[in-house]
Protein backbone atom coordinates (compact mmCIF):
# COMPACT_ATOMS: atom_id res chain seq x y z
CA UNK A 1 0.00 0.00 0.00
CA UNK A 2 1.27 3.43 -0.98
CA UNK A 3 2.15 5.91 1.76
CA UNK A 4 -0.50 8.31 0.45
CA UNK A 5 -3.31 5.76 0.81
CA UNK A 6 -5.67 5.46 3.76
CA UNK A 7 -4.90 2.41 5.96
CA UNK A 8 -8.65 2.14 6.68
CA UNK A 9 -10.29 2.31 3.23
CA UNK A 10 -7.31 2.02 0.86
CA UNK A 11 -8.21 5.12 -1.19
CA UNK A 12 -5.86 8.07 -1.74
CA UNK A 13 -6.25 9.85 1.61
CA UNK A 14 -4.97 13.35 0.87
CA UNK A 15 -2.79 15.43 -1.42
CA UNK A 16 0.99 15.48 -1.05
CA UNK A 17 1.02 19.06 0.27
CA UNK A 18 -1.54 18.21 2.94
CA UNK A 19 0.48 15.19 4.07
CA UNK A 20 3.70 17.23 4.14
CA UNK A 21 2.13 19.38 6.89
CA UNK A 22 1.02 16.34 8.91
CA UNK A 23 2.96 15.60 12.08
CA UNK A 24 2.45 13.04 14.86
CA UNK A 25 0.56 15.62 16.96
CA UNK A 26 -1.83 16.47 14.11
CA UNK A 27 -4.46 14.48 12.31
CA UNK A 28 -6.42 15.01 9.11
CA UNK A 29 -9.49 13.23 7.82
CA UNK A 30 -9.19 10.87 4.86
CA UNK A 31 -10.76 12.58 1.86
CA UNK A 32 -12.54 9.32 0.91
CA UNK A 33 -13.84 7.86 4.20
CA UNK A 34 -13.26 10.65 6.72
CA UNK A 35 -11.24 8.58 9.21
CA UNK A 36 -8.72 10.66 11.17
CA UNK A 37 -5.21 9.87 9.93
CA UNK A 38 -1.80 10.83 11.22
CA UNK A 39 1.82 9.69 11.10
CA UNK A 40 3.88 7.79 13.69
CA UNK A 41 6.24 9.57 16.11
CA UNK A 42 9.16 7.97 14.24
CA UNK A 43 8.28 10.23 11.29
CA UNK A 44 10.16 13.08 13.00
CA UNK A 45 13.35 11.31 11.82
CA UNK A 46 12.42 12.64 8.36
CA UNK A 47 13.18 16.15 9.67
CA UNK A 48 16.84 15.32 10.36
CA UNK A 49 18.27 16.41 6.96
CA UNK A 50 16.65 19.86 7.28
CA UNK A 51 17.61 20.15 10.95
CA UNK A 52 21.25 19.45 10.08
CA UNK A 53 21.40 21.52 6.87
CA UNK A 54 19.63 24.70 7.98
CA UNK A 55 22.04 25.75 10.79
CA UNK A 56 25.00 25.28 8.42
CA UNK A 57 23.18 27.21 5.69
CA UNK A 58 22.45 30.07 8.10
CA UNK A 59 26.12 30.14 9.14
CA UNK A 60 27.26 30.26 5.48
CA UNK A 61 24.60 32.83 4.43
CA UNK A 62 24.53 34.59 1.95
CA UNK A 63 26.34 32.29 -0.44
CA UNK A 64 25.16 30.05 -3.26
CA UNK A 65 26.40 27.03 -1.28
CA UNK A 66 24.19 28.06 1.65
CA UNK A 67 21.11 28.28 -0.57
CA UNK A 68 21.94 24.92 -2.18
CA UNK A 69 22.49 23.29 1.22
CA UNK A 70 19.19 24.66 2.55
CA UNK A 71 17.25 23.51 -0.50
CA UNK A 72 18.86 20.05 -0.40
CA UNK A 73 18.16 19.63 3.32
CA UNK A 74 14.51 20.65 3.07
CA UNK A 75 14.02 18.59 -0.12
CA UNK A 76 15.52 15.50 1.52
CA UNK A 77 13.22 15.93 4.53
CA UNK A 78 10.14 16.32 2.30
CA UNK A 79 11.14 13.26 0.25
CA UNK A 80 11.59 11.17 3.41
CA UNK A 81 8.31 12.41 4.92
CA UNK A 82 6.46 11.47 1.70
CA UNK A 83 7.46 7.83 2.35
CA UNK A 84 6.13 7.81 5.92
CA UNK A 85 3.01 5.63 6.08
CA UNK A 86 -0.28 7.04 7.30
CA UNK A 87 -1.81 5.52 10.44
CA UNK A 88 -5.38 5.58 11.74
CA UNK A 89 -5.63 7.94 14.70
ZN1 LIG B 1 -10.01 6.40 4.08
Ligand 1 centroid–CA 71 distance in Å is 33
Ligand 1 centroid–CA 5 distance in Å is 7
Cβ partners under 8 Å of residue 13, min gap 6:
4, 5, 6, 19, 30, 31, 32, 37, 86
For residue 1, the model assigns a pLDDT of 62
Ligand 1 centroid–CA 54 distance in Å is 35
For residue 20, the model assigns a pLDDT of 94
Mean pLDDT, to the nearest integer, of 1-21?
93
Tell me whether residue 46 is exposed, middle or buried, using C-beta atoms within 10 angstroms of its C-beta: 0 to 12, 13 to 18, 19 or more.
buried
Ligand 1 centroid–CA 48 distance in Å is 29
Average pLDDT of the chain? 95
**Closest-CA residue to 11 (of 34, 38, 43):** 34
pTM: predicted TM-score of the whole model, two decimal places: 0.85
Cis bond before residue 84 (omega within 30° of 0): no
Amino acid sequence: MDSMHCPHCGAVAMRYGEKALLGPMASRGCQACGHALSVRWSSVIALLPAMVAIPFAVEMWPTNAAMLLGVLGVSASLALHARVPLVVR
